[in-house]
Structures are given as structure tokens and as C-alpha cells.
């Protein structure tokens, strides 16, 4: 049986389900992370009003893009942008950094010109901060100003943490080269509220040979809490990063395979699994 469980957030899952179905897979969407607006929208609005203050905006994910621009689309080109496609230092719009193609697609969808988007090379081993840094490193000089747009967990939102979490490594690289870094929380990540039917589908998929497509370590923690009684020793998973594979191993997945995170690579690796 060719059956896969797509665990990405609901906004992304359908694209993966459709692609799997075209390849003859029975695909089931069971999102393991729910995306919600930021608990406090005021800092987000203040950040949107100050876009011209930054040389670059780093969006940690596609939801960071969609939530950041939910009330205000990307500003149209101005006279100050003419001839400036590299930075905001001369009064133009900032560069937009994306850790992977899903985030880059989201930036295009809200109107960011393609020539202002920086992302890892298509053949990068991983789509992460390290791969992105190889591309944007030359931009960061003394005085460079970066805004990192990211999410926060529900627990952090509950204690009114203003910074969120994610991409600290990249921020440290920027500071080491004389840049400054600000943070903005655009959304919250939380465990999904599964229905009784979804829980039963997940229990069945834990033991019927389905391949779980895992793209987030945090999501695996939510899976553990959603099905605390599940035995994962006979379950199969395909993880898109070594850290995600480690989290899946800790949960007890019996069979683990790895893949680059691009959809095309996941499909190829799925077909090669025994």
C-alpha cells in the first residue's frame, strides 16, 4: 500500500496531498501544527510601518510571510527603488530572505518582486539558516539592519514573550559582522485540535504501514501529546532534516528515512522506500 500522512500545517498540506495523489499515493492530511495570529498585533503593525528602516527582512516560514502581510500587501515600487535591487540603504525597499522555496513562493504571492528575494540554492542539501547564510553573507556589513519575522509557541505567547523563537544562529552571524537584528512575532504555533475521527485515523496510520512525512521537530512533540498511548515501533517516517529525524527516533519510530525538504525529493525518496 502506498499511503502517506502529510503533517504540515493546513495551509501547506493540500499542495502536498495533491502532488502525492498525482503520483499514485493515498495521501492523508493530519496537520501537527496549527497557525494562529500573533497574540499581540501591535508590535507587528509597528514593524510593518517601519519597513524602510531595514536593509533586509528574514521570514522564517511561509506563515510568517502571510501573517506579516495579512493587513498590508508588499509596498509598490517607488521612485526611490529605481535601480536599487540590492538593499534598502539608498532609500529603496529591503531585501527579503527566505530559508526555502515555500517561503519564497509566499513572498511572491504577496507581491515581493523576485529580484528582491534571497533563498538557498535549489541544490542545497537543506533549506535552513546555514544554507541561506551562504547566499546573504555578502550583504551583511557594519551597520546592516535586519528584521527577523518569526513565530512563537503558545507557551511563549501565554507569558507575553516579545521575541518569538527561531533563526537565532543566523542572527548571531549578522551581529558578528557588525549588523543589528530586531525581531517581530507574526504568528503563533500550537497543537492542533484534532477531532475524534482524526485521532482514530492517526492511530490507524501508526500501525498500518503508512509513511509519516515529518517536517518539524516541534510537530513531533505535539504528536506525542496528541497520541500519548501510541506505539510507534512499527511506524515508518520520512524526515526532512537530521534534527527532525532525531526527534522522531526519540518518539520511537521504528523505520526512519531522510530526504531533502523539496517536494520533488520527498516524492523520489518515498518511491525508494521498501
* Closest to 186 in 3D by CA, of 16, 86, 15, 47: 47
Average pLDDT for the chain: 88
Going by DSSP bridges, is the β-strand pair 3-6/211-214 parallel, antiparallel, or unpaired?
Answer: parallel
pLDDT of 167 strictly over 80: no
What's the pLDDT at 1? Answer: 65
Query: Which long-range contacts does 48-55 make (Cβ < 8 Å, 24+ apart)?
Result: 48/72, 51/75, 51/93, 51/94, 52/88, 52/91, 52/93, 52/94, 53/145, 54/88, 54/94, 54/145, 54/146, 54/147, 54/182, 55/87, 55/88, 55/89, 55/94, 55/95, 55/139, 55/144, 55/145, 55/146
What is the set of domains in the chain, with CATH numbers?
Answer: 3-33+192-272 (3.40.50.10090), 36-190 (3.40.50.10090)
Q: Alpha-carbon distance 180 to 171, whole Å?
A: 8
Q: Alpha-carbon distance 54 to 263, whole Å?
A: 32
This model's pTM is above 0.95: no
Block residue for cell numbers 502517506: 4
What's the pLDDT at 175? Answer: 95
Q: How many CB atoms lie within 10 A of CB 17?
A: 19
Lowest-pLDDT range of 55-59, 63-67, 164-168:
164-168
What's the pLDDT at 155? Answer: 65
Lowest-pLDDT range of 65-69, 81-85, 97-101, 179-183:
81-85
What's the pLDDT at 159? Answer: 47
pLDDT of 122 strictly over 60: yes
The alpha carbon of 93 is separated from its chain's Cα centroid by a whole number of angstroms, namely: 23
47's enclosing H/E stretch is helix 41-48
Segment 22-46 mean pLDDT = 93
Higher pLDDT, 164 or 168: 168
What is the b/e burial string over 176-209, where b = at least 16 CB atoms within 10 angstroms of the residue's CB? Answer: eeebebbbbbbbbbbbbebeeebeebbeebbeee
What's the pLDDT at 218? Answer: 92
pLDDT of 115 strictly over 80: yes
Which tens digit of pLDDT belongs to each residue from 63-81?
A: 999 999 998 888 755 444 5
pLDDT of 11 strictly over 60: yes
Cα dihedral 175/176/178/183 (nearest 10): -10
Segment 176-202 mean pLDDT = 94
Which grid coordinates are listed for 159? 507569558
Residue 156 pLDDT level (bands cut at 50, 70, 90): low
Which tens digit of pLDDT belongs to each residue from 128-143?
A: 888 999 999 999 999 9
pLDDT of 91 strictly over 80: no
Which grid coordinates are listed for 39? 497574540
Q: Alpha-carbon distance 236 to 233, whole Å?
A: 8
Amino acid at each position: 500500500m502506498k499511503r502517506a500522512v502529510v503533517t504540515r500545517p493546513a495551509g501547506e498540506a493540500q499542495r502536498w496531498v495533491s502532488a502525492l495523489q498525482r503520483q499514485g499515493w493515498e495521501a492523508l492530511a493530519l496537520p501537527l501544527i496549527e497557525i494562529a495570529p500573533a497574540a499581540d498585533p501591535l508590535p507587528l503593525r509597528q514593524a510593518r510601518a517601519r519597513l524602510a528602516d531595514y536593509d533586509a527582512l528574514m521570514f522564517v516560514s511561509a506563515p510568517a510571510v502571510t501573517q506579516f502581510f495579512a493587513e498590508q500587501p508588499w509596498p509598490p515600487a517607488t521612485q526611490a527603488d529605481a535601480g536599487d535591487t540590492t538593499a534598502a540603504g539608498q532609500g529603496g525597499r529591503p531585501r527579503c530572505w527566505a530559508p526555502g522555496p515555500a517561503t519564497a513562493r509566499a513572498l511572491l504571492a504577496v507581491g515581493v518582486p523576485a529580484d528582491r528575494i534571497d533563498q538557498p540554492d535549489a541544490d542545497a542539501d537543506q533549506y535552513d539558516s546555514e544554507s541561506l547564510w551562504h547566499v546573504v553573507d555578502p550583504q551583511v556589513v557594519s551597520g546592516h539592519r535586519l528584521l527577523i519575522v518569526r513565530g512563537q509557541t503558545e507557551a511563549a505567547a501565554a507569558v507575553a514573550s516579545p521575541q518569538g523563537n527561531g533563526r537565532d544562529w543566523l542572527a548571531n552571524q549578522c551581529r558578528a559582522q557588525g549588523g543589528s537584528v530586531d525581531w517581530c512575532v507574526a504568528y503563533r504555533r500550537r497543537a492542533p485540535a484534532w477531532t475524534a475521527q482524526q485521532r482514530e485515523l492517526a492511530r490507524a496510520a501508526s500501525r498500518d504501514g503508512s509513511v509519516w512525512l515529518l517536517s518539524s521537530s516541534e510537530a513531533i512533540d505535539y504528536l506525542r501529546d496528541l497520541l500519548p498511548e501510541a506505539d510507534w515501533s512499527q511506524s515508518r517516517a520520512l524526515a526532512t532534516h537530521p534534527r527532525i529525524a532525531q526527534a522522531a527516533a526519540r518518539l520511537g519510530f521504528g523505520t526512519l528515512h531522510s530526504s531533502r525538504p523539496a517536494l520533488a525529493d520527498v516524492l523520489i525518496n518515498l518511491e525508494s522506500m521498501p
